[in-house]
Structure 1
Amino acid sequence: MSAPEEAMTGAVAATRSQIDEIIAGRFACRDFSDAPVGRGTIEQILRVARFAPSGANIQPWHVYALAGTVKDTVSVALREAHETARDAHVSEYSYYASDLPEPYLRRRQEFGRLFYGSLGIAQTDLQARSGQTAKNYAFFGAPVGLIVTIDRRLQVGSWLDLGMFVQNVLLAAAGHGLQSCPQETFSKYHRILRPLLSIPAEQMVVCGISIGRARDVAKGRLMPRADIAEFASFAGFEEQSATQMERTRPWEAETS
């Protein structure tokens, strides 16, 4: 059974749509082939992603799309900083709470076990873990990298808007047969990215996104997802179903 099929069962699986397949089949790719992706494709991905909803339609996102020697220059600078001065750099925002409560702490620990375990890296092997992190800054070999920013003068609601835009980018890329990987770690090196990409002071670096073709699509998603029962509550649907049955009964009587 494929990953999309495992993600959807029962009646829902029988009625799944093309967008269901795209969402369930997307995964964070960390090993891209060097097959090129043209500017036209990236423009189309962003052209579609811009239809993400945003409060009062303020559209709080900005994207720096990188390829070729420009991307390589950025990668070299970030990898050098990671190797020689990583402790001198820090993100302008906190991604994780300093004291993660459950079930989030358990899920983060599970990620570490599954991810590094799949690479044969012991969690205590700090040097190997650092080497894996460094691959982020080469965009995992992807031919295209995006740096995503937000205006720092905006409030938390605009970050919600930005998240929906980023998700649109990932799904639009998947619709073109591409894979992607959103990477918060780029925010750590905002002081290096700013002069290289002429990022104005009012923009905060939020994340990077690697886009390209997966070297091995068969690997697919590694991380599990919580079942619906863990995060959703339902109310009133029984009443809705009963009403629907009442509406259909006269029709059934007439045609029986």
Structure 2
Amino acid sequence: MNVTEAVATRRSIRQFLPTAVPQDALQRVLQKAQRSPSGGNTQPWNAVILTGQPLADLTAKIKAKAATAPMGEGHEYDIYPKSLEGRYEDQRRGVGKAMFDALGLAREDGAGRVAQMMKNWDSFDAPVQLFTYTRKYMGPPQWSDMGMWLQTVMLLLREEGLDSCAQEIWAMYGTYMRELLNIDDDHIFFCGMAIGYRDADAPINNFTVPRVEIGQAIRWEGF
């Protein structure tokens, strides 16, 4: 698989097969991903990877927390800007509508939509979770570096025939996630990433996710 194929076939998978993920495949991915760029070679990313009983235990605890604090508790950053507007907000709402439409969940079906959101805590049945964090003093450039590392991991997972779903939703319980993962107070929790093999027949993995034309995001000069 070349880079173009990996980019074209990567998508946020929200229904995984129960197939186990070989540790050696993850080891290859993460070893290669260490070549990701970072300003000053700071390499600010850190991660904890869970599977099996440790993941099951964490899942049970975070679901119990979500039941008592459904709007989140102890989040340490805003997942979306409070002032999100224009095409950015339109795109966010649009992909949500497309996802629920693919599942046949009408806007009025609040219970069905909540049930779908709750599947985040089960990692969409993925057998592996990668949780990312960094030092609290890191700034926007280092958070960008973390994003480049995560993107590199996601593309290398495709090379291995694996899939993923980056999940910032775990940050709704950021301080509790640090407690569960034994991450000290000098760090800030960023996100999770479900990893596994996609259920290719699941409607939620097949709806169209549009991208804006590059003319809306890119300006050319001197060409």
TM-based fold match above 0.5:
yes
| Pick aligned residue for 1:198 from 182, 190, 194 | 182
How far 1:221 sits from its partner (Å)?
5.6
Q: Which residue of 1 aligns with 2:15?
A: 31
Provide the rounded CA distance (Å) in 2 between the counterparts of 1:222 and 1:79.
Answer: 30
| Number of equivalent positions | 221
What amino acid is the match of 1:123?
R
Decide whether the 8 Å contact of 1:71 with 1:144 is kept in 2.
yes
Change (3 A) 1:59 1:188: same
Q: Does residue 236 in structure 1 map to residue 217 in structure 2? A: no
Provide the rounded CA distance (Å) in 1 between the counterparts of 2:206 and 2:110.
Answer: 26
What amino acid is the match of 1:41?
A
Decide whether the 8 Å contact of 2:76 with 2:175 is kept in 1.
no
Q: Which residue of 1 aligns with 2:66?
A: 82
How far 1:87 sits from its partner (Å)?
3.5
Provide the rounded CA distance (Å) in 1 between the counterparts of 2:222 and 2:72.
Answer: 54
RMSD: 1.7
Secondary structure, in 3 states, of the residue corresponding to 2:98?
A: helix
Provide the rounded CA distance (Å) in 2 between the counterparts of 1:220 and 1:236.
Answer: 39
Q: Where do residues 85-96 of structure 1 align in structure 2 (5 Å cutoff)?
A: 85-87=69-71, 89-96=73-80
Q: Which residue of 2 aligns with 1:118?
A: 102
Decide whether the 8 Å contact of 1:142 with 1:212 is kept in 2.
yes
| Pick aligned residue for 2:210 from 224, 230, 246 | 224
Structure of higher RCO (CA pairs closer than 8 Å, 6+ residues apart): 2
Provide the TM-score with structure 2 as the length reference. Answer: 0.93
Provide the rounded CA distance (Å) in 2 between the counterparts of 1:201 and 1:126.
Answer: 36
Provide the TM-score with structure 1 as the length reference. Answer: 0.81
Provide the rounded CA distance (Å) in 2 between the counterparts of 1:81 and 1:230.
Answer: 41
Question: Cα deviation per residue 1:163-183 (whole Å; 9 max; x = unaligned)?
Answer: 101101110111100110000
Q: Which residue of 2 aligns with 1:69?
A: 53
Consecutive unaligned residues of structure 1, counting only runs of 5 or more, are 1-16, 238-256
Provide the rounded CA distance (Å) in 2 between the counterparts of 1:132 and 1:229.
Answer: 34
Identity of aligned residues (%): 30
Displaced runs of 4 or more, over 3 A: 217-221
Q: Where do residues 180-191 of structure 1 align in structure 2 (5 Å cutoff)?
A: 180-191=164-175
Provide the rounded CA distance (Å) in 2 between the counterparts of 1:148 and 1:115.
Answer: 25
Provide the rounded CA distance (Å) in 1 between the counterparts of 2:112 and 2:73.
Answer: 20
Consecutive unaligned residues of structure 2, counting only runs of 5 or more, are none
What amino acid is the match of 2:164?
S
Change (3 A) 1:88 1:138: closer
Question: Cα deviation per residue 1:73-99 (whole Å; 9 max; x = unaligned)?
Answer: 111111121223224514200121212
The structure that is helix-richer by fraction is 1
Structure with larger Rg: 1
